[in-house]
Amino acid sequence: MRASDRMTQLPSSNGGSLPDALARTRSAIQPAMEHAVRRMNPDIARMASYHLGWTDTDGRPLDAPGGKLVRPALALLSAAAAWAEPEIGVPGGVAVELVHNYSLIHDDIIDGDTERHHRPTVWSVFGIGPAIIAGDALAVAAQQVLLECEAHGSAAAELLADATAAMIAGQADDIAFERQSTVSVDDCVAMCAAKTGALLGAAASIGAVLAGAPPATIGALRDYGGHLGLAFQAVDDLLGIWGNPARTGKPAGNDLRRRKKSLPVVAALAAGGDESDELRALVVGTPGAPVLDEAQVTRAAYLVEACGGREWARTRAKSHLDGALGALERVRLSPVPHRTLADLAAFVVDRES
């Protein structure tokens, strides 16, 4: 069977299942995350706790800690896949999660987003200046967590710094693309590989680095994570246009409304022809152009699909799922975490939110 067909398999239930791995991740990661946040200046810790969904705006604890912890789960699984105890990956999981959240806090300022997961964003509650500082604090805390590891912490810190640098370069390209009338499909894919793929590649290999795994194992896991990131982004972009608002928590067609040059849109614009031209006239605006109205969003979604953008992104998601699963076959990994990593990749492509 083609590797991507596995995406329809259910997670196994023999202790290596995806729900088990995510639950195990939370119990291992949460105390370490809280330790990292408690070390911060109280004003910063309050913003970090709020952003992470632990507390409300007044610092009162919330019932259920938020976040899917996909990146920490990858870090723990990568240690286990490299035949080590998953807990070896905990500092890596914490560090990657801190970098991920630092990028979200700064991205929300950059994009002017006032809500994330139905909650006001950090900058909209605490102000832009404090939110910049909060992001900066999370970024440096990530480095500290790794550099304090006795074994292989320096190699893990270098892996994460390189991934963070790539992520930042991708963010810069993303900003630049929004101001350009034309973006090539290749440039858009390269931007996603940098913005999303690099950090997921680090997440999926940092546990193996901390376990002192051989370079081939680390490389295979990083490639798995990179493909996972691109599959994730393609699915994210599909959900941004055709996602069910009840599941995604965002209005239908949200990305089109905001004229976002997401992968399906860029592919549709590159297709050429009358419908492609109509799409360009509809969604490509100068910076500061007004959002699209409902009728325009509906028409734009039709045009993206008519120009093949929807099918292109679906094919892309599946081929990166294949790439991710193929990377896992390149080296001999511990079988149970190997299967869970495969399940996780399928879950990412199959998700509806």
Q: Interface with its own copies by CB under 8 A: which residues?
A: 40-41, 43-44, 106, 109-111, 128-130, 132-133, 135-137, 139-141, 143-144, 147-148, 153-154, 157-158, 161-162, 164-165, 168-169, 171-173, 175-176
State in angstroms the smallest separation of the CB of 32 from its own copies: 17
Q: How many CA atoms lie within 13 A of 336 on its CB side?
A: 15
Burial class (CB in 10 A: 0-12, 13-18, 19+), 280: middle
Pick 162 or 293: Cβ nearer its own copies: 162
State in angstroms the smallest separation of the CB of 353 from its own copies: 27
State in angstroms the smallest separation of the CB of 140 from its own copies: 5
The C-alpha angle with vertex 238 and arms to 307 and 341, in degrees rounded to 5, equals 130
Pick 83 or 177: Cβ nearer its own copies: 177
Closest CA to 90 of 102, 103, 104, 73: 73
Pick 58 or 63: Cβ nearer its own copies: 58
State in angstroms the smallest separation of the CB of 129 from its own copies: 4
Tokens of residue 188, six digits: 């858009």
Pick 62 or 168: Cβ nearer its own copies: 168
CA dist 16 and 14 (Å) reads: 6
Pick 176 or 281: Cβ nearer its own copies: 176
State in angstroms the smallest separation of the CB of 6 from its own copies: 36
Pick 41 or 244: Cβ nearer its own copies: 41
State in angstroms the smallest separation of the CB of 146 from its own copies: 9
State in angstroms the smallest separation of the CB of 235 from its own copies: 25
Question: Which residues have CB under 8 Å from 213's CB, separation 6+?
Answer: 82, 83, 84
CB 163: neighbour CB atoms within 10 A? 25
Closest CA to 99 of 152, 38, 163, 155: 163
State in angstroms the smallest separation of the CB of 168 from its own copies: 5
Pick 139 or 303: Cβ nearer its own copies: 139
Pick 110 or 281: Cβ nearer its own copies: 110
Contact assessment for residue 80 and residue 25, using Cβ atoms and an 8 Å cutoff: no
Tokens of residue 192, six digits: 């996603």
Q: How many CA atoms lie within 13 A of 292 on its CB side?
A: 26
